[in-house]
Amino acid sequence: MELVVFDLDDTLVDFASTRRLAYESMRELLHGAGIDATAWLQACSALDRPLFRQFEQGAMTRAEYRIRRFSDPFTSLGLPVPAELVTRLNGVFMACVNDHPLLYEDVQPVLLELRNRGVRTAVLTNGPSDGQRRKLRASGLSEWVDHVVIAEELGASKPSPRAFHAAVAPFAMAPADALMVGDSPELDYAGALAAGLQARLLDRDARFAALNLPTIRTLRELLSDAKR
């Protein structure tokens, strides 16, 4: 294994925990506006992934996604959309998840050990470019990996083979010499295999045990495969 390509959110960055902290800050704004925060946040959580998938597929611009992820919950609850509050909610959310991201505890030691062993590393993410760049800087990841590919900048998102090949190309090696690690069976695991890479599904909570795929529960398991 000469190169490990990592997904970013929910693989290196504990995005689920960071998002919960952001939601708690947003709850205060919603309460102050007389909105049922619990109902609104439940609607927001349910709507976000389908909206993000549209952004990933190029069916929605970044600006549209950022407006709709916080305006559509009002519509789904039968409430008028308060444009100013939507803007404030978006600002609070982005400041939390992009400027104060939480890393899983195994990330820094594993990335540094891989570097010590001569294994190159890259990040491949489908998230919006500006937010992901902020997140990479704030977390220190931009200093710990050798290359970053952001789908919005490339014009191709996982699971497109073009996205995976862009992560491998700077290292002048065959895709088969690279290993993709991520938390999505479809985007990271199956997408990488289709592009000719090796792949491991990171399943920290055993959510996908029934799929019987090659998985790891922690990034430390990569070190047993990395060359010394």
Domains and CATH numbers, the chain: 3-14+103-224 (3.40.50.1000), 15-99 (1.10.150.240)
pLDDT (mean) for 27-52 = 95
Query: pLDDT tens digits for 203-213?
Result: 999 999 999 99
Query: Which whole number is the average pLDDT over 20-28?
Result: 95
For CA atoms 123, 128, 129, 133, give the dihedral sign. Answer: negative
Measure the CA–CA gap between 98 and 16, rounded to whole angstroms. 13
Indicate if the pLDDT at residue 76 is higher than 60: yes
The pLDDT of 29-37, averaged and rounded, is: 95
Q: How many CB atoms lie within 10 A of CB 206?
A: 9
pLDDT band at 226 (very low <50, low <70, confident <90, very high): low
pLDDT at residue 56, as a whole number: 86
In this predicted structure, the answer to whether residue 91 has a pLDDT above a threshold of 60 is yes
Torsion angle of C-alpha atoms 178, 179, 183, 186, degrees rounded to 10: 70
Kindly indicate the confidence band of residue 228, based on its pLDDT and cuts at 50, 70 and 90: very low
pLDDT at residue 1 above 90?
no
- Note the pLDDT tens digit of each residue in 114-168: 999 999 999 999 989 999 999 999 999 999 999 999 999 999 999 999 999 999 9
Provide the pLDDT for residue 58.
Answer: 87
Bridge partners of residue 182, in order along the sequence: 201
Is the Cβ–Cβ distance between 6 and 145 less than 8 Å?
yes
What pLDDT, on a 0 to 100 scale, did the predictor assign at position 224?
Answer: 85
| Gap between the Cα atoms of 114 and 228, Å rounded | 9
**Residue 152, Cβ density class (10 Å: 0-12 exposed, 13-18 middle, ≥19 buried):** buried
pLDDT score of 227: 54
